[in-house]
Each structure stands twice: as structure tokens, then as C-alpha cells.
Structure 1
Amino acid sequence: MDISNEDPAAMRLKAWVLKHSKSLPTNMTPKRHKDGSYYLAAEEPVRRGQVLVRVPRPLLMNADTARGSAACGRLVAEAGLNEWQALLLHLLCERAAGEASFWAPYIAVLPQDMSYHPLLWGPERLTWLQGSPLAGQLAERQQQVTDDTELLLVAGANELPIALEYGKAHGGRELVTRDSVAWAAAVLLSRAFSLDLAEEEPMEGDMSYWGTWTAHGPDMLCLVPWADLLQHCSAAGPESCAVYQFELGAVTLAAHTSYLPGEPLFDSHGPHLSPVDLVMDYGMEEQPQGLQHQLQPSAAAAAAVAAGGGGGAAQEAAGEGVSLAAAVAAAHAVDAGEGAGVAVPPSPAGAAAEAVAGAAAGPRPGNGSGGGEEEAEAEAAERGAAVTTVSYGGMCGTAGRDRFDANPADVVPPRSSRNAALLAALAAVHGGTAGSSSSTAPAVEGDSAAAATAATAGAGSLALGCGGPDTASLTFLRAALATDVELVRAGWRVKAGAKDVELACRVMGSLAEPTSAATEGALLRALAAYIQGRLAAFPTTLEEDEDRLLGRNGVPRVTGPERLAVVALASQKRALVGSAAAVAGWMQRLEAGWPVAELYDGEEGGEVWGEGAEEEVDAEEEGAQQEWDDWGGGRKGPADGRRGAVSAGKR
């Protein structure tokens, strides 16, 4: 527990958390990166599955604490601020309170300079995203910051007593300004968790037959001190996503792997996050978890060769003994198929961490004499057989996370008013509303181009990955292009409309399979044209971006905030290039006379990218609604368009 040699702010934060938690499940210490940001490092051996943090509810900051705040609670209620706006004001008031704030030790370690985050980029930096729809998305987010600022000002936030005191202490500076709200928004976007804080609902009679009865309300956006210092790793699974445990009254998450003392600790900010998600929401580029010192250049290149072929490019990399990132890039350049990861042999450091953690924890209990040892040996064998995978650019976790979120309205308009009605019903399922688009699609039967665009844009985004669009995206396009006969066969009644939501979901299940060669041909041609247009809109190529990221071919390695932009653009281009290859292959099959039912089968009859890969939970457990909550293959997006990847229990 000795942290006397650590940063004073870190020492104070740990003492504050320990005071209110009584104990820490894992002994960790906040340390600082060179850029001044904090992370958590292990002070003891950590076993996989061990609870890393247990943060009691009183330490959380959320809309409830905002409404209960003496500084701003009354204004929050009277102005009817939503959850996001309430937390923005709450954070600004607590920062203004200084040492008088209950959360002072936590706020002291928050980054005060968030200029690196895309949300705070100015017009000059926005040019880094030229050719990408990310520039428009970022402009919308920045406009929301402006709107929130104006709303808080109209509500009288700068007339609060704490705001007046803050102005006196800081030379007349106002508490709520466009800059201060942007800072608070970037903090929430990059650090807040979405948690189910619902309490158990008391039930009359014996309900044990039905299991635990819990009332689940909407998730609540929360700042979770201590837990938000953990870094993201894509290899981390659900066990490393924060969850509120009602029985404990605390937020917990566990280690997805073992750690040695001194190593940085990781969590999962959410499943299936792409490099673009990490840049836009969290303002970060994922870094490898200890892979830099675990692999020698030759081993890294050999790993690249093993990544589904790698071919001559990877063999050449192996011969030259290049870096891990360059070896992985060589494999990616050759194999743009399903984004297969680069297999990395189990590292000596990882095995040592398991051994040390196991020795520190002592023998594990078993079901009988010697059972614990057998279980431990079996688990060790399982770990030994497993490999870690990384993707290009030093990305920790599995490859193939590159994703381009396409606006459906830009890909294809609805074929007719009946198709438009089906898509409008799906937009209601998705919780979306008609969105804007740059599409100049012609008018459809009985409808205007604007109505068609609105219907198509309302159902979320299409996910284009390195292996092509996922199944949900193909299904959506099929629904947009299906003929009247195909719609009837799928169950979409002649008089069905935008309010027939349940029927629309059943119809989409029927349209998940190809319907006809003509429709599939139109679908693939529309996709090919869209992808070609998107790639042509970028001022640089994927190879040029990779040169800048890797610092190769005489090109200086890009650093700073601009690196985040290049990481995002390169990820989008990889997804588009991979999708272009997949679509071209499917079109060749179609022209060769393949049965449409087998058109999208893998080389060995397997499933294409995204077909079931995104479902980590059984549909029976989640219910039919969960299946359609994520409909469209991409994330539903930030609530009100203003926060990061915050699905239940995830950051």
C-alpha cells in the first residue's frame, strides 16, 4: 500500500478511494504517462479473473448526484436538463468548488487539457479528416456542444452562487463557456460508463422458480473514479467491462489476463470497438499490451507470415527483421480477407505472470483430492494452447475490427414506397429518426427523394468491415431493393406501413437470406460503386497513411493529435479495401452462376465477416428485441449523438 514515492495527486486519489471502499480487491497504483495522463499499474501479481476494482456507488458522479447537488441540483430540476447536460454542469460545478468538492481528489487527476480530443479540434485540425464522413460527424458533435452551452446559459448556470464565487476567484472568468462545456463533454465522452443501477424489485410470493427478479431501467451515464484510469484492450472480454453489482453496491470488473507487478492494467471500454470508435469517442490509439518487449523482430515477422498466408511480403519482412507493426502491415497488405489476426505465441512474460500470480494465490480448491491441481493444470494447458492476436499498427486484441460506418441513404435509395415504409418501420426499432444524407438519389414511386432518403437514413448505419458488409447490412440493402413480389413472400403486407414494427422485424428475418440473383446483383453493384466513390474521396491512399503511421519509405512518423486522425482514416480505408475485395468476389460468383443461397458462404462454407460474430450472447437470453437493438451492424451511436460507446455495462 506504500505509495509515498508516487505522484501526490495519485497518492491522494488512492487514499480517497481506499477510505470509502474500506479495501481494494487488487493493490494498484496510479502512475503517469509522459503526456501527463494517469494509468493503473499492478503492485502485486494479478491472476486472470481477479477483481481489479470495486468502486462503491457513493463515489460515482451521475444525473442522480447532479440532482442532489447543493451547487446545481435546483437548476437541473427547474431547467429540465437531460442526463448529459446535468452531468456536464455537475462536473463543472465540482471542478469550480475546488477542495470543497467531495470529488476533489478525483477531479485533480482528470486531464485539464483535452485539446488532443477530436471534440476540441478546430477548423485546421478538421482538415485532417478530409474525404471522410467523420468530419461531418465531428462537426455535428461540436454543434451539440454549442447548443448545450447556450441551453445552460439560458437556464442561468452562470448565475449560480458557485459560478459567482468562481468568477470572483478567477478574475471574472465565467463558469460556463463554450470552452468549458467542450472540456466537460470530452471528459464524459472519453471516461464515462453506462451502468444499470436498477435496484431489485421486491416481489410477493416465492419467485425462486423464475430466478432472480430484477427491475431494469435505462442505463445511467456515470463517471467512475479509479476505474476510469484503466486503459482499453480489445483482447479483454465481458469480464473486464464495468458492471454495477447491486448486492455489493459497487461497480466491479475483473482482469482478462494475468499481470506481473509494475505492469499496466487494462479493461474493456466495450466490445467490437473499431480504431475509429477509439479515436472519435476516447481520443486514443490503442497500444499493444506488453507485446513490444515480448516479441523479437524475427518472431514478429514470423507471426505475420502465419497470419493466413502473409505471402512474399511477410516473408520479406521476416528476412529483414522489421518491427512487429511493419510485419503485421505486410500481412494486412496481402490478406484483406476476413481481417485474420496475427498469431502471437504465448509470451514468456505472460506465462511468468500466471505462475507468479498462481503462487501468490496459493492452491486452488477442487472437487476432491488433487482436483485443484488438475484444474489448474488444465487451465494452464488451455492458456498455453491459446494465442494472442494483434492487428496492424500495434493494436492490442483481435484484428478485423476496422469498420466503415456507411449511411444507407448514400448507398442505395428504396426501390419503391413499400420498401421505404419497411425501412421507416426499422428506423423506429432502431430508435433513430430520419437522418441527413449527401445522396442525390432519384425519386421513387409514389414518394419523393427526400422521403426515400429519410426512410433509409433512419435505421442506423451499415457496417463495412475488412471481410465485407456484415449480414445485417446486407439484409438492410436487400430490404431496400427487394421487388414487390419478394416483399410479399417475406411477409410484408401490401398495406403495411411505418407503424408495423413487429412485422418489419419478422420480414427482416426472412430477408436475411438472398432472395434472387437480380436483387443480389443490384445490391452488390450499388455497394461496389459506393465503396469506389468513398475511396476516391480521400486525398491520400491507404499505403500513404500506413507509411506515415509506421515512419517507413522515408516518410516521417506522424505524432500528436494528427496521428489520431491518420489512425482513423487508415482504419476506414482498410475496411473499404477489404469490403471492395469481398464484394468483387461475390459478384464473380454471381456471374459464374453460383446459387444465390451459397453466394456469401466462406471459402470452406463458413460464415462471412460479421455473420454471428458480433453476437457474444445467446439470442434466447437477450430476447428478440436485443437482436434488433444493434440492427444495422454498427453501433446505435451516442445517446442524443453525444457520448461514446456506452452500452450496458460498457464504457
Structure 2
Amino acid sequence: MDVLVAWLADNCPSEKQRELWTRDGAVEMVADPASECGDRVLRAKAGLKRNLRLPVPPACVLTLDIVEASDIGKALRGLDRYTLFAVFLVYEQRRGAASFWKPYLDVLPRDILFHPITFLDRQDTCAPLAAALANEKLLLRALESQQEKLRAEFDHARALITMHATTDIPALGECFSQSAPLLYEEFRWASCMVISRAFNMVEPRKVMCMLPFADSMNHNAADPTVQWRPRLPKGFFVVTILRDLSPGEELTANYHGGGHADGPRTQMDDLRNYVMYGFVESNAFADVQQAALLQPSAEPDAKPDM
């Protein structure tokens, strides 16, 4: 986390903004004791004051514009925006230390077995999961549709990468060689990161983006300790501390922005949230969630020709 905070601070355009991140070591990232997937939580390191605003600088906000302007965006033009983002994450992950986004990529969780995006591929080896899914017909249909689309997008993306890597975008060939093509397992991991973490900003214009630091916070609808708005004023994403936080207190946010505007949440709301985020606030899909945790944390070897 120190590396991520230093990266955010280094990319702030003013000294005053940099000091907000570095003064007294504002925040720290630690292992989440409640997480089954090795996730982490953000905590106030030395205490944070109410109304403090932490600015995620424009350079560190990963927008769709940045993805579309990259080699991946040029090669995969016309594909689903989630696919563009996913392959971009894989591409930057493979670039390692050469990637500007490495400090962000390094804090993303690697284990996604908690997430429904993996369930259909695991039900043959996890009988309790298969049984629980059989009792959730609506969820099962949603996952079948998601997987069909995911595999089609993967096949199309890999074909386009192969075509452009040997013609007009040689950088792709350096990253995705014939002996190291894009793998379905890494594409699925990246897709999970995108669908569970991407935000849609509405001001000053509509744009999809991923937000380092902000997307590492746990969801808390009842008593969040920070607030944010779907805005990028002057390109910044601003996190506001809602009350004084003591050292060690967790930074949490309400991902649903204050609740469902149209009344009580419905079955379809729960389904949509579970398929996207891998959790729901109600008891919906409780049997499926419990069964999913029984699966061993190690996945089988990735198969490049899936």
C-alpha cells in the first residue's frame, strides 16, 4: 500500500495535494481478516479529520479514453468496453515493471473463486456448489448467459490480438507471443476486476473508469466513513472523510450511493449485484455463497486453447 500511496502522491500536480497523501502516512492497506480471497482493507494510519478530501489525481484514474488510446484499444476497437478494459489489464500486468499501472495492479486480489464468474467452470468439481446453483434457476441462467458472452469476447479478442500483433501493432507481439497467447483464465480474472470495480462517472461527462485506492474500500451501506460522488472535477476523483477517524479505523463507502432510489430492493437488484460484485446485502444466494467457499483456492492449470 505504501507503494500505491506514493504513486498517487507522485502523480498529484501540486505539493498541497501530495501532502494530503503523505502527511503522517494518511492511509494504509492491510489484509482483510474477513476475506476469503486474500483481499485487503484500507485503514486510517494516524487518524483522519472529518471533511478531509483525498484526491485521486487525473493521471491515476484509468478511464475508457486511456484504454481506447492504447495499443489494446486500437487492436480491439469495436469490442465490448468491458473486454477492452479486461485485456488492457492483462496487457499491463504482463508488462510488469514497465507498466505505469503496476502499483495499482499489484493490489488487486488474485483469487476470484468467491465470485460467480467462476461458478459454472467449478460446479463439476464442487458438488455442493452444483447443488446450490440447481436451486437458483434465475442465477444459473444469468451465469450461463454471462459465460457464453465472456467466452465469445475472449475468442474474438484473441483473434484480433493475433492479427494485429503480426501486422501494425508489434508491441502486442512482444506481450502476447505465439508461445504465450492471451489465456482464458487471466482474461476471466481481469473481467472480474472490471465488472466488480469499474465506475461510471457522469460529470463533467459520462465515462467508464477504474479508480485506484477507491475501489479497495469495503462496502458499508449503514455507516460508511467516506463519501464520493460520480464526478471527475478537473479530472480528479475526490474521496471525502465523513467523520474523524481514529488510527486503525477502516475506510468504507456506500457503493450504492445511499440506497435504491425506487424503493425496496428487488430480486432482480440482488441478482444484478451478485453477478457483478460477488456479494449482496440481503440473504439472497446464501447457500450458493457458502458452497462456493468449499472449493479449494487453487485453480487448475490455465488452458490456452479454451
TM bucket normalised to smaller: 0.7 to 0.9
The answer for the alignment partner of 1:131 in structure 2 is: 135
- Is the Cα–Cα contact under 8 Å of residues 224 and 251 in structure 2 kept in the other structure? no
Q: Which has the larger radius of gyration?
A: 1
d(CA) in 2 for partners of 1:276, 1:243 = 23
| Cα deviation 1:561-588 (Å, max 9, x = unaligned) | 359xxxxxxxxxxxxxxxxxxxxxxxxx
**Pairwise mapping of residues 485-496 of structure 1 onto structure 2 (< 5 A)?**
none
- Is the Cα–Cα contact under 8 Å of residues 119 and 186 in structure 1 kept in the other structure? yes
| Cα deviation 1:408-432 (Å, max 9, x = unaligned) | xxxxxxxxxxxxxxxxxxxxxxxxx
**Pairwise mapping of residues 202-281 of structure 1 onto structure 2 (< 5 A)?**
216=205, 219-236=206-223, 240-247=227-234, 249-271=235-257, 272=259, 278-281=273-276
Q: Residue type of the partner of 1:183?
A: W
Q: Residue type of the partner of 1:89?
A: V
d(CA) in 1 for partners of 2:185, 2:207 = 25
Q: Residue type of the partner of 2:173?
A: L
| Cα deviation 1:531-563 (Å, max 9, x = unaligned) | xxxxxxxxxxx9xx6xx99xxxxxxxx576359
Instruction: Describe the shift of the 1:234–1:277 C-alpha distance in structure 2 as closer, same or farther (beyond 3 A).
Output: farther
d(CA) in 1 for partners of 2:163, 2:238 = 36
3-state DSSP class of the match of 2:113? coil
Instruction: Describe the shift of the 1:179–1:83 C-alpha distance in structure 2 as closer, same or farther (beyond 3 A).
Output: same
d(CA) in 1 for partners of 2:60, 2:215 = 12
The answer for the alignment partner of 1:72 in structure 2 is: 72
Cα distance, 1:111 vs. partner? 1.7
d(CA) in 2 for partners of 1:43, 1:127 = 44
3-state DSSP class of the match of 1:156? helix
Q: Does 1:110 align with 2:108?
A: yes
d(CA) in 2 for partners of 1:106, 1:117 = 20
d(CA) in 2 for partners of 1:93, 1:55 = 23
| Cα deviation 1:257-285 (Å, max 9, x = unaligned) | 44211121101211437665554322246
Structure 1, unpaired ranges of 5+: 1-9, 199-215, 286-394, 396-400, 405-541, 550-557, 564-651
3-state DSSP class of the match of 1:115? coil
- Is the Cα–Cα contact under 8 Å of residues 145 and 178 in structure 1 kept in the other structure? no
Instruction: Describe the shift of the 1:158–1:30 C-alpha distance in structure 2 as closer, same or farther (beyond 3 A).
Output: farther
- Is the Cα–Cα contact under 8 Å of residues 200 and 208 in structure 2 kept in the other structure? yes
d(CA) in 1 for partners of 2:145, 2:244 = 41
Cα distance, 1:239 vs. partner? 6.8
- Is the Cα–Cα contact under 8 Å of residues 240 and 254 in structure 1 kept in the other structure? yes
Structure 2, unpaired ranges of 5+: 124-128, 296-306
d(CA) in 1 for partners of 2:85, 2:274 = 22
| Cα deviation 1:439-461 (Å, max 9, x = unaligned) | xxxxxxxxxxxxxxxxxxxxxxx
d(CA) in 1 for partners of 2:19, 2:278 = 29
| Cα deviation 1:483-532 (Å, max 9, x = unaligned) | xxxxxxxxxxxxxxxxxxxxxxxxxxxxxxxxxxxxxxxxxxxxxxxxxx
d(CA) in 1 for partners of 2:225, 2:40 = 23
Aligned length: 264
Q: 2:185 aligns with which of 179, 187, 197?
A: 179
The answer for the alignment partner of 2:88 in structure 1 is: 90
3-state DSSP class of the match of 2:109? coil
Cα distance, 1:44 vs. partner? 2.8
The answer for the alignment partner of 1:56 in structure 2 is: 57
**Pairwise mapping of residues 354-365 of structure 1 onto structure 2 (< 5 A)?**
none
Instruction: Describe the shift of the 1:243–1:281 C-alpha distance in structure 2 as closer, same or farther (beyond 3 A).
Output: same
The answer for the alignment partner of 1:194 in structure 2 is: 200
Percent of pairs with identical residues: 22
Instruction: Describe the shift of the 1:194–1:82 C-alpha distance in structure 2 as closer, same or farther (beyond 3 A).
Output: same
Cα distance, 1:224 vs. partner? 0.8
Q: Does 1:164 align with 2:170?
A: no
The answer for the alignment partner of 1:314 in structure 2 is: none
| Cα deviation 1:167-192 (Å, max 9, x = unaligned) | 56xx92212x3222211110011111
- Is the Cα–Cα contact under 8 Å of residues 226 and 251 in structure 2 kept in the other structure? no
Cα distance, 1:126 vs. partner? 4.6
Cα distance, 1:37 vs. partner? 1.7
d(CA) in 1 for partners of 2:106, 2:151 = 26
d(CA) in 2 for partners of 1:95, 1:36 = 18
Q: TM-score normalized by structure 1?
A: 0.37
Q: TM-score normalized by structure 2?
A: 0.74
**Pairwise mapping of residues 356-375 of structure 1 onto structure 2 (< 5 A)?**
none
d(CA) in 2 for partners of 1:66, 1:245 = 17
- Is the Cα–Cα contact under 8 Å of residues 28 and 44 in structure 2 kept in the other structure? yes
| Cα deviation 1:31-82 (Å, max 9, x = unaligned) | 122543222110133344433x31112112222101222x324214xx3234
| Cα deviation 1:346-384 (Å, max 9, x = unaligned) | xxxxxxxxxxxxxxxxxxxxxxxxxxxxxxxxxxxxxxx
d(CA) in 2 for partners of 1:197, 1:162 = 34
Which deviates further from its counterpart, 263-272 or 250-259? 250-259
Q: 2:152 aligns with which of 147, 151, 161?
A: 147
- Is the Cα–Cα contact under 8 Å of residues 195 and 221 in structure 1 kept in the other structure? yes
Structure with more contact order per residue of length (Cα contacts < 8 Å, sep ≥ 6): 2
- Is the Cα–Cα contact under 8 Å of residues 95 and 101 in structure 1 kept in the other structure? yes
CA RMSD of aligned residues (A): 3.2
3-state DSSP class of the match of 1:252? strand
d(CA) in 2 for partners of 1:244, 1:41 = 24
d(CA) in 2 for partners of 1:167, 1:54 = 35
